[in-house]
Structure 1
Amino acid sequence: MLDVGRLRVLVAVARTGSVTAAARELHYSQPSVSHHLARLEAETGAKLVQRAGRGIRLTDAGLLLAERAAEIMGRLDSAAAELAAHAGLRAGRVRLAAFPSALGTFVPTAAVRLAAAHPGLDLRLAEAEPPEALRMLRDGEVDVAVVFSYGETGPEEDGVRMTALLDDPGYLVTPADGPAQEDRAGLAGHTSSRWIAGCERCRIHLLHVCAEVGFTPRISFTTDDYVAVQAMVAAGLGVAFLPGLALSAHLRPGLRVTEVPGSTRRVFAATYGEPPDPPPTAALVAALVAGSPDVVRRPAAGR
């Protein structure tokens, strides 16, 4: 039986055109390459190389064997890659960072899909707002980051690749027993209201949409906790702007929600580096795509 290692040496000599170049490519010494060629000739009983000036060239038999050996090496390498991918999905680990309302809505659905398709794959979850999640992604602390951006959010840095998951509309959140005519006027009905603001990206977007209708919101409270935001609104401490995912994850009784036109944010699964992604990462992104609605439905009013 022909030795696979020696066939690989023959393929390298055919591809590079010399023993020296083949030795450099394979990280062998030149005498080692010559030894492998001599042993391969002994195994086949055929003359595979011959001298040509100061170098060598393959004979017709050597060219024929090198061509077939290249096919064999390609199939072996493909088999090894497929096996590694299979093993990675059976017993690998994949790490995800996502913002709180994603963790409270569609991420668990995606996790169930991933576990059903790849029961040996260990999924680790971390909570992080987009800037921190992207830092974790770039630093190699996670494999996928679920993030969102608004129209005014700048592009992410080079190397970050985005897979679109869903569109998430924004809502004005006010006390259910407050003046309905103010809510019907949308943001413009609350130019003198106190506002409760959230994370940096949401706060920037709130300032942007309020500026479009001609005022700067008076922000009296700041918290990233959408449960706390709703509690403060219900208590009459102010009004807020919240995305649909936050209201889908938790909607407190005693609130009125009014959609704000043109305030939709886009949610993405972010990965980092050149494609293709490792199989566990690709499997997680596929599960997120399959487990996400195209658009977040309007939440029912709180009672």
Structure 2
Amino acid sequence: MVRTTRGTTLTEAGATLLARADAVHNALHDAREELSALADLRAGTVRLAAFPSAAATLVPTAVRALHDRHAGVQVTLVEQEPPEAAAGVLAGDVDVALVFGYDGPPADDGSLAWVPLGVEPLHLVLARDAGAPARTTPTWLAAQDWVAGCERCRQHLVASCRTAGFEPRLLHESDDYVVVQNLVAHGLGITVLPQLALTAFRHPDVDARPATGFGERHVGMVHRPGAESVPAVRALMERLQEAAAEVLSLRSGARGRPRASRRPAPARG
């Protein structure tokens, strides 16, 4: 400050500091407003990865419910198989990933938290005019052509067939459950599909029977520890749990490590 006959005035240095102080004050105010919007779910972005049948069934229901309650929260989706989706979470490219494992949670090194969503049965899918016996036997199954799915699904299919005592004759492979069912409907093979795939799309010319000998799929979410404390992430996880409860069986005694399997705390708003 400099005293003059008219009072005091700011020095050049003082005027510069005052301008900076005003800028800092405004920046802090804006930051508080942005943080408040995030905490109150008036804003925020959640990056989600999901395997195809979950992306077609659980995700639309959950994201629509989230938008209805918190219109300012944006969800981005990328479709990925579980290994790639989990790797995206570890790399920080994704906040939450929908994944599955056969007969238990997918294996990892414990770096990610696991939240179970439910268990889905597997079904033997046949053409309506396949002439299959009421009870299929390993001998009958061994005589059929097979349609296989994604790499992990194909590995599980082959392992299950070998356990039953036969080697499946794989003629066709596709990651697309619509393509798979169309091939089956045209009599070009039989296959095994999980419940979510049949929920997403059911060809009118196929029959589906319980395939108990092929096990079941455990569906859940993985995220980095602590991510559930972010309001927008927590809110999406809750909506995914609600959507899964409509189509999956949540089994408390599911095998596999618990890995932070508790329900996220309710989000505000």
Provide TM-score, normalisation by structure 1.
Answer: 0.66
Higher relative contact order (CA 8 A, sep 6+): 2
C-alpha distance in 2, partners of 1:170/1:291?
19
Residue aligning to 2:3 = none
Q: Determine whether 1:83 maps to 2:36.
A: yes
For residue 280 of structure 1, the aligned residue among 226, 232, 240 is: 232
Give the match's secondary structure for 1:232: helix
What's the CA shift string for 1:61-92, capped at 9, x where partnerless? Answer: xxxxxxxxxxxxxxxxxx999837425x2111
Contact 1:171 1:260 in 2 (8 A): yes
C-alpha distance in 1, partners of 2:187/2:113?
42
C-alpha distance in 2, partners of 1:217/1:160?
35
For residue 178 of structure 2, the aligned residue among 227, 244, 247 is: 227
Contact 1:188 1:213 in 2 (8 A): no
Contact 2:126 2:207 in 1 (8 A): yes
C-alpha distance in 2, partners of 1:198/1:236?
17
Contact 1:159 1:274 in 2 (8 A): no
1:209 Cα deviation (Å)? 1.9
Letter in 2 for 1:148: F
Give the match's secondary structure for 1:90: coil
Give RMSD over aligned pairs: 2.4
1:152 Cα deviation (Å)? 7.1
What's the CA shift string for 1:256-286, capped at 9, x where partnerless? Answer: 1111115210100111234653221111111
Unaligned runs of 5+ residues in structure 2 are 1-31, 250-269
Contact 1:98 1:146 in 2 (8 A): yes
Alignment of 1:120-159 (within 5 A): 120-151=72-103, 155-159=107-111
For residue 216 of structure 1, the aligned residue among 163, 167, 188 is: 167
C-alpha distance in 1, partners of 2:239/2:230?
14
Residue aligning to 1:197 = 148
Give the match's secondary structure for 1:256: strand
Higher CA-based Rg: 1
Number of matched residues?
A: 217
Residue aligning to 1:301 = none
- More helix by percentage: 1
Residues 86 and 200 (structure 1 numbering): CA distance in 2 closer, same or farther, change over 3 Å? Answer: same
Give the match's secondary structure for 2:244: coil
Moved over 6 A (4+): 79-82
Unaligned runs of 5+ residues in structure 1 are 1-78, 298-303
Residue aligning to 2:211 = 260
Residues 142 and 186 (structure 1 numbering): CA distance in 2 closer, same or farther, change over 3 Å? Answer: farther
